[in-house]
Amino acid sequence: MIKRASLVLMVVFGLVLFVGCNDNNTKKILEALGVKPSIDVEMTEYIELDPLMGLPIYFYKISIISNVDNIVIVSAKINRGNCRRIKIGEKLGFGNSYEFSFLVNSCRHVKEVSVKTDKGTWDFTF
């Protein structure tokens, strides 16, 4: 019985460590293990028109959403620091969010957002 439980745990942890998965898959695996991230991260793209030229300007918007009653968002790294590093220092309650935007030109493809909090660091892939 113990060997079987150990084998199941090894397989699950192997999936978490070695499977290249997107944010939703990682979240599902962690929730199946009974581990829920302290935060969620959502990324959207939007367009604004330049007020002077009338040309479109493309942005990414990152939303960090708290899943716990009290958390401090310390910083965020985009693409392991190759695009942007943002110092935040924002305290959030359950369901509250912190959002920031940046030009698509400054980071063509967002593949990973790493968020450092007072409760640990969480990586989200897109």
**DSSP string across 37-60:** -SEEEEEEEEEEE-TTT--EEEEE
Q: What is the value of pTM for the model shown?
A: 0.72
What is the DSSP code (8-state) at residue 34? Answer: T
Count of structural domains, the chain: 1
Is 106 part of a structural domain of the chain? yes
Render pLDDT for 34-89 as a digit per residue (tens, 0 to 9). Answer: 778 999 999 999 999 999 999 999 999 999 999 999 999 999 999 999 998 889 99
- Where does the pLDDT of residue 2 fall: very low under 50, low under 70, confident under 90, or very high at 90 and above? low
Cβ-Cβ contacts under 8 Å for 91 (sequence gap 6 or more): 70, 71, 72, 73
Full domain range(s) for residue 98:
37-125
Is 78 part of a structural domain of the chain? yes
Is 3 part of a structural domain of the chain? no
Is 84 part of a structural domain of the chain? yes
- Domain of 86: which CATH number? 2.60.40
